[in-house]
Structure 1
Amino acid sequence: MVPLVYHTSYSQLVLPARHPFPITKYQHLQQYLLTQGIATESQFVSPAPVSIDALCRIHSAQYVQDFINGTLPAGAIRRLGFPWSENLVNRTLHSVGGSALCARLAMEHGIALHLAGGYHHAHYDFGSGYCVFNDLVFAARELIDNGLAERVMIVDCDVHQGDGTATLCQQEPDIISLSLHCDSNFPSRKPASDYDVPLAKGMGDNDYIHTLKETLSYLIRLEKPDAILYDAGVDIHQDDRLGYLDVSTQGLFERDSLVLNIAKRAGIPLAAVIGGGYSTNPLHLSERHSQLFIAAKLLWQEE
């Protein structure tokens, strides 16, 4: 049974009217997985909030404290994209803790999935693009520091480049950052990941899957990671508001199946986060994110 990590705080954030971030998508996704028979209640595990001291292993202590206390400058809040609130703090601490828990569960079960996460725009001393703290680098560091892995690969398939992950991993030689992203998209400045694969605007299913397969198969042989953290962002979808690629829902399923299959065949534990996905239609968004969970269920049922 595939462990699924979820906390009710993920969607308990009050945003201004017409705010572009679909904050209810986490709650909708959990309900969709249950009502469609993709998951059962017994699969869900609730995370504890991450500690402030732990966050300071990868982030500036001043930045962490200013966020927790609500004393970030107005410009830093605008860059985050969320208004500050106690609910935002609670949600952030639980979701980062959720990605760390997901990584630990993956080492135990071979796979685990998180119904949130993918905060790859968070840098050492500032957040950006709805990302406060970098859960991917944090979870990788937790695995390494606790002796559960020696080398961790972050496979980022969100449509946007993981610029925060790239800058943080420049100081982390045992964390390998791979980003496949639309080149003509946010952020405008793209610092170097260990491996960047810029994709042409409008790329469709076949070219996307081929590029991913060739890249990931090669890098796993080259880098030999002990664990994979997979950002399964669905903003590569052809109808995503912030995308610019032309990947179908079937293409999402094929992508997720490919990544999970490659990791499983190589015997590498994989923890996945759902990453970005932007639609005003909750059902459409749930369907897109659910492809990851369907792929995992089908693959692990084969055993």
Structure 2
Amino acid sequence: MVHTVLIKVHRTLLSKHSVNSKLKCVRLVSQVTKDKTRRGLPIVHHEGYVSHLPPDHRFKMRKFERLFYYLLKDNVIDRKQVWKPERVSRKVLIETVHTQEYIDDFFSGQIGVKEQKKTGFEWSRGLVSRCRYETGGTLLAVEAALQYGLACSTGGGTHHAFPSHGSGFCLINDMAVAARYFILRNRVSKVLIVDLDVHQGDGTAFIFADDPNVFTFSVHCGKNFPLHKQKSDLDVSLENGVGDDEYMEEIGKWLPLILETFRPDLVIYDAGVDPHQKDALGNLNLTDAGLFHRDYWVMDRVLSHGVPCACVIGGGYSKDLDELSLRHTILHRAATKVWTDRGM
């Protein structure tokens, strides 16, 4: 099927430069030291990723616990690989990405009905806690990736959250918080966010629109949410129905170029499974094998450049909880193979 590629590069790849040394550092909530007793690919998970939602809600909240269940059940991982995050602090959220007014309102429940409708969630204390654990998980996945080269969370990828409001099932932008957090601490200078969720990462693109130290790369279905797109550093807009081969052709065209020219110190990879042919909100036609090949290729290509890669699961929608949860494990299965093949 014919598809269009919309390339919106609003600053030149080669104009990216190192972080301003005057930026203030942010202290870690919990300092993590390298543990030589750990074995295998770091998997970041917390039972706090789940909060209560009505059983018929479109967002299948329990997918986080079911995904973890299948990873253990199928012997993809064992418990020695699991890293347990802490909840991100209010201070970190405000110092990195979000406005104080929004975080104060979100934490205290002062979010209006209209704003709640835009996010797709009714506010609850459990929802706030869930988002804090999930963002803490992405921070920890980056820490693990910087230590070991590759790490995967069982959550994350809330790319529709803006500094002052949530949107599209996203309330805190975990990837943006993590990218800026580690830049502010001078752990990295340049971060590439590879967003392969079927929906454009509009919040992330907006947050880093004028930040030369973060490159946003989004491959998404053009005729899909959000209606009004933001400008990523590179947007690839696909037509409905694009399948495995055409999809990989586009990623293969652009990712190597970005890695070679921007030269990031860290990649944060959003491995959304909503491009799948059975996804309720996707409109693309990728298969299970196609998703596995995509994830393996992205991680392997990033690592071949000597760049650490922290992975989050992104979006995925289905009425069948177990089918969806298993689909999300494709990332961790592919990452495990990359880890093994590379002898990490």
Counterparts of residues 23-102 of structure 1 (less than 5 Å): 23-57=61-95, 58-102=97-141
CA apart distance, 1:222: 1.3
Instruction: Name the counterpart of 1:116.
Output: 155
Q: CA deviation at 1:17?
A: 4.1
Please name the residue that 1:213 is paired with: 252
SS in 2 for 1:56: helix
Residues 72-119 of structure 1, C-alpha deviation per residue, up to 9 Å, x if partnerless?
121111111111111001101111111011111100000010100000
- Is residue 2:185 matched to residue 1:146? yes
Distance 2:53 2:133 in 1: 18
The separation in 1 between residues aligned to 2:207 and 2:247, in whole angstroms, is 27
Q: Which has the larger radius of gyration?
A: 2
2:252 aligned with 1:246:
no
Distance in 1 between residues matched to 2:213 and 2:70, nearest whole Å: 37
Higher mean C-alpha deviation, range 26-35 or range 171-180: 171-180
More helix by share: 1
Structure 2 gaps of 5+ residues are 1-39
Distance between the aligned counterparts of 2:64 and 2:315, measured in 1? 11
Tell me the residue number matched to 1:2: 41
Once residues 220 and 118 of structure 1 are traced to their aligned partners in structure 2, the CA distance between those partners, rounded to angstroms, is: 21
Q: Who is 2:27 aligned against? A: none
Aligned pair in 2 of structure 1 residues 291, 17: CA closer, same or farther (>3 Å)?
A: closer
Query: SS in structure 1 opposite 2:276?
Result: coil
The residue identity in structure 2 corresponding to 1:287 is: L
Which one of 199, 217, 224 corresponds to residue 263 of structure 2? 224
**2:141 partner letter:** C
- The alignment's TM-score, normalised by the length of structure 1, stands at 0.98
**Hey, what's the Cα distance between the residues in 1 that align with 2:193 and 2:69?**
28
CA distance in 1, matches of 2:60, 2:211: 32
Post-superposition CA distance 1:131-172 (Å, at most 9, x none): 001111110011111121100000000000000001001132
Instruction: Provide the secondary structure at the position in 1 that maps to 2:88.
Output: coil
Q: Which residue of 2 aligns with 1:15?
A: 53
The CA distance in 2 between the partners of 1:31 and 1:168, in whole Å, is: 34
- CA distance in 2 between partners of 1:298 and 1:249 (Å): 15
Q: Any idea what SS the aligned residue of 2:220 has? A: strand
Alignment RMSD (CA, Å)? 0.9
Structure showing greater relative contact order (alpha-carbon pairs closer than 8 Å, 6 or more residues apart): 2
- 2-structure distance, mates of 1:47, 1:287: 23
2:266 aligned with 1:233: no
Distance apart, 1:219 and its partner CA: 0.8
Does the alignment pair 1:262 with 2:298?
no
CA distance in 1, matches of 2:54, 2:120: 11
Runs (4+) off by over 2 Å: none
Provide the C-alpha distance between the structure 2 equivalents of 1:285 and 1:144, rounded to a whole number of angstroms: 34
- State the percentage of identical aligned residues: 40
- The structural deviation recorded for 1:227 is 0.5
Return the TM-score normalized by structure 2: 0.86
